[in-house]
C-alpha cells in the first residue's frame, strides 16, 4: 500500500537532514512509492519514500555491485528510515526520459542500445553472490537451483494459492502448473543477473543511448532468457523492436520451451501478487487473458 506524505513535509525533512535544497518537485510515482526530485550542491537527486525498506536496500546493493559504463544504474547515496517509520532512498538523478515517453518514431534508433544493456545485465560479474531466484540486499539468492526457484511457484510454503482461489479461475491455474512442470526439464541451471522487471518504464534514455536502468527490487539470478520472457509476457508496444532483436539473438537450445515456461511463471506470479498482496488489481483481467493465451500455445 502506497504511503503518502505531504510535499512540504518531505522538503522540510530533506533540508533538516541535508541543508538548503532547490528545484524541489514531485515526480511520477511508482506503484508503491512517492518520488521527488531536488538539487543540492550542484547535483540532482531523487528521493523515494515507501513503507518498506528492503527494495531500497536492494537497489543500493545492485548500484554498488553492478553499476558500470555499460550498465548505467543510478548511484544510491542514502537509505534509511524517517522519524515516522517510513523508509526513504536517495539516489543521484539520471538524465533522460523513460522509453515509455518516447514517440513511436524515436524507438528504432535506441533499439541497439537497449539490447546492449540487456547483454550487459546478463554478463554482470556475480563474484561474491550466491543462490538462484530473487536475491536480498546481500546478494544471496533464496534457492539452491534455478529449477527450485521455478517450482516454488506451486509450493504452498511460498505461494498460498488457497487464499486467492475464489478470485481466480482454478482450472487455468492448474493448467499453467501442469504446463510449467512439463517444460522445466528444458530449463538449464544457468546463473546470470536478471533485472526481472525490464521494460519501458524502468529504462531511461537520452534518445540515442541508455542513461539508466532503475527499480531493481525484482532482480534475480538465473537463466538470462527469463529477461526476454518478461518482455514477451507484458508485450509492451514501446519494446516491440527490442523483443524482436532479442528473439533473433536468443535462438538457443530449447529457447521456445524455456520462454514459454518463464512466461507462465511470470503470469502465475502476477496473478498471485495482483490478488493476494494488493487486493484486486485493475490489471487482473488483462493478466488472466494473457495467461489463457499462453496455455493455448502448448
Give the pLDDT confidence of 20-58 residue by residue, as tens digits: 999 999 997 666 789 999 999 999 999 999 999 999 999
Model confidence at 269: pLDDT above 80: yes
Contact of 100 with 77, CB cutoff 8 Å? no
How far are the Cα atoms of 205, 206, 230, 248 from residue 107, in angstroms, in the given order? 10, 11, 19, 18
**Stretch(es) of the chain classified as CATH 3.90.1200.10:** 97-295
What is the average per-residue pLDDT within 250-273? Answer: 92
Mapped onto helix, strand or coil, the DSSP state of residue 234 is helix
36 CB burial (10 A radius; 0-12, 13-18, 19+): buried
The reply to whether 160 belongs to the active site is no
- For residue 249, the model assigns a pLDDT of 84
**Stretch(es) of the chain classified as CATH 3.30.200.150:** 7-92
Write the DSSP symbol of residue 139.
S
How far are the Cα atoms of 28, 117, 287 from residue 238, in angstroms, in the given order? 18, 16, 18
What is the average per-residue pLDDT within 141-165? Answer: 93
Model confidence at 167: pLDDT above 80: no
Residue from 23, 54, 116, 197 carrying the catalytic annotation: 197
Decide if domain 7-92 falls under CATH 3.40.640.10. no
DSSP-assigned beta bridge partners for residue 22 = 39
CATH code for the part of the protein at 97-295: 3.90.1200.10
User: With pLDDT > 70 as the criterion, what percentage of the chain qualifies?
Assistant: 96
Using CA atoms, how far apart are residues 5 and 27, in angstroms rounded to an integer? 13
Model confidence at 171: pLDDT above 90: no
Model confidence at 130: pLDDT above 70: yes
Amino acid at each position: 500500500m502506497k504511503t503518502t506524505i505531504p510535499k512540504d513535509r518531505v522538503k522540510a525533512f530533506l533540508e533538516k537532514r541535508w541543508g538548503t535544497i532547490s528545484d524541489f518537485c514531485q515526480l511520477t510515482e511508482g506503484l508503491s512509492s512517492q518520488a521527488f526530485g531536488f538539487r543540492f550542491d550542484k547535483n540532482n537527486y531523487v528521493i523515494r519514500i515507501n513503507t518498506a525498506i528492503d527494495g531500497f536496500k536492494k537497489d543500493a546493493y545492485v548500484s554498488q555491485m553492478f553499476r558500470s559504463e555499460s550498465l548505467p544504474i543510478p548511484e544510491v547515496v542514502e537509505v534509511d528510515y524517517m522519524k515516522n517509520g517510513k523508509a526513504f532512498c536517495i539516489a543521484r538523478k539520471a538524465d533522460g526520459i523513460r522509453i515509455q515517453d518516447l514517440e513511436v518514431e524515436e524507438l528504432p534508433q535506441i533499439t541497439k542500445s537497449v539490447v546492449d544493456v540487456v547483454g550487459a545485465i546478463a554478463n554482470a560479474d556475480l563474484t561474491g553472490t550466491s543462490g538462484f531466484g530473487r536475491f536480498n540486499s546481500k546478494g544471496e539468492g533464496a534457492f539452491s537451483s534455478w529449477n527450485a526457484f521455478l517450482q516454488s511457484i506451486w509450493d504452498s510454503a511460498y505461494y498460498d494459492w488457497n487464499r486467492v482461489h475464489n478470485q481466480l479461475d482454478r482450472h487455468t491455474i492448474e493448467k499453467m502448473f501442469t504446463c510449467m512442470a512439463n517444460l522445466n526439464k528444458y530449463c538449464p541451471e544457468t546463473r546470470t543477473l536478471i533485472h526481472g522487471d525490464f521494460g519501458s518504464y524502468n529504462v531511461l534514455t537520452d534518445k540515442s543511448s541508455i542513461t539508466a536502468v532503475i527499480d531493481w527490487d525484482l532482480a534475480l539470478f538465473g537463466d538470462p532468457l527469463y529477461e526476454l520472457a518478461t518482455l514477451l509476457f507484458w508485450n509492451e508496444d514501446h519494446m516491440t523492436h527490442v523483443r524482436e532483436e532479442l528473439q533473433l539473438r536468443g535462438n538457443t537450445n530449447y529457447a521456445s520451451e524455456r520462454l514459454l515456461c518463464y512466461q507462465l511463471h511470470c503470469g502465475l506470479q502476477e496473478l498471485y501478487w495482483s490478488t493476494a498482496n494488493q487486493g484486486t488489481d485493475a490489471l487482473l483481467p488483462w493478466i488472466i487473458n494473457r495467461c489463457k493465451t499462453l496455455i493455448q500455445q502448448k
